[in-house]
Amino acid sequence: DIQMTQSPSSLSASVGDRVTITCRASQGITNSLAWYQQKPGKAPKLLLYAASRLETGVPSRFSGSGSGTAYTLTISSLQPEDFATYYCQQYYTTPYTFGQGTRLEIK
Amino acid sequence: EVQLVESGGVFIQPGGSLRLSCAASGFAFASFAMSWVRQTPGKGLEWVSTISESGSTYYADSVKGRFTVSRDTSKNTLYLQMNSLRAEDTAVYYCAKEARAYYFEYWGQGTLVTVSS
């Protein structure tokens, strides 16, 4: 199975900050990576796919990059509604696997 | 508008059986792969099973041989038959519509399954 390791596991930041979350795969996944946002009591919501493609309707302050085994999610200027938990997921092969999540909290 | 509505989650004893349903609307249900993903506080998000548009099925090792995914295209409904349930199957179960490239494009609101004596 492909292991997905996210860092950090939690992060405190302020409105307006730029934040970056990293996701590392245990083997190459050729950009078959998605990022999801989850708020308490809600289902995950797709933000980006193919490592860097923004899902329709997602604000442009969210961006993704990376290749091979290392990928990043960047939020350029945090807004109050962005405080949530973020997950990466590889869909290169089954079993599809997720990172353990990064909880983004208000400083 | 795509809608996915899960149902069937209950409190059940170990060894029991349960069928979850996911009613889909707002898209051509028969033309997309559908999946089940579960979430526990301790293990985070875990992919459980996928059924392709052609009916091929795929399972996580943790549920293989115990869970069966199926779909009824006449009812636009996805199912997950869960047998020989264990305490570690306790989770919120989400159904998800896959995009053409296999990531999870839309998610339902989830249904809670609790396995405990």
From A46, A94, A97, residue closest to B103, measured CB to CB = A46
Band of pLDDT at residue A82, cut at 50, 70 and 90: very high
Mean pLDDT across A83-101: 97
Give the closest of B101, B102, B107 to A44, CB-based. B107
Alpha carbons B98 and A78: distance in angstroms, whole number: 29
Residue reference for tokens 């078959």: A32
The residue among B82, B104, B70 whose CA lies nearest residue A33 is: B104
**A76 Cα to chain B: minimum distance (Å):** 23
Contact yes or no for A50 and B101 at CB 8 A: yes
Residues of chain B with pLDDT under 70: none
Mutate to test the interface with A, among B45, B59, B69 (most CBs of A within 10 A): B45
User: Which structure tokens are listed for B99?
Assistant: 């995009």
Q: Indicate yes or no: CB of A49 within 8 angstroms of CB of B58.
A: no
A98:B46 CB<8 A: yes
Residue B94 at interface with chain A, using a CB cutoff of 8 Å: yes
Tell me the two tokens of residue B103.
């990531």
Residues 6+ apart with CB under 8 A from A56: none
Whole-angstrom CA distances from B21 to A92, B67, B68, B108 are 27, 13, 12, 11
pLDDT in tens, A23-41: 999 999 999 999 999 999 9
Measured distance CA(A24)–CA(A69) in Å, rounded: 5
Other Cβ atoms less than 10 A from the Cβ of B75: the count is 12
Helix, strand, or coil here: B28?
Answer: coil
A6 has which bridge partners? A23
CA distance B85 to B78: 19
Query: What residues contact B42, with CB distance under 8 A and at least 6 apart?
Result: none
Closest listed residue to residue A21, CA positions, set A85, A106, A92, A96: A85
Q: Are A9 and A101 in contact (CB under 8 A)?
A: yes
Q: What is the pLDDT of residue B102?
A: 87
Whether residue A101 is predicted with pLDDT greater than 90 in this model: the reply is yes
The amino acid that residue A60 corresponds to is: S
Closest by Cβ to A89, choosing from B99, B103, B108: B103
Tokens of B56: 């091929």
Residues B29/B76, Cβ–Cβ less than 8 Å = yes
Q: How many CB pairs under 8 A join A and B?
A: 53
Which pLDDT belongs to residue B101? Answer: 81
Q: What's the rounded mean pLDDT across residues A6-26?
A: 97
Answer whether A88's CB lies under 8 Å from A34's CB.
yes
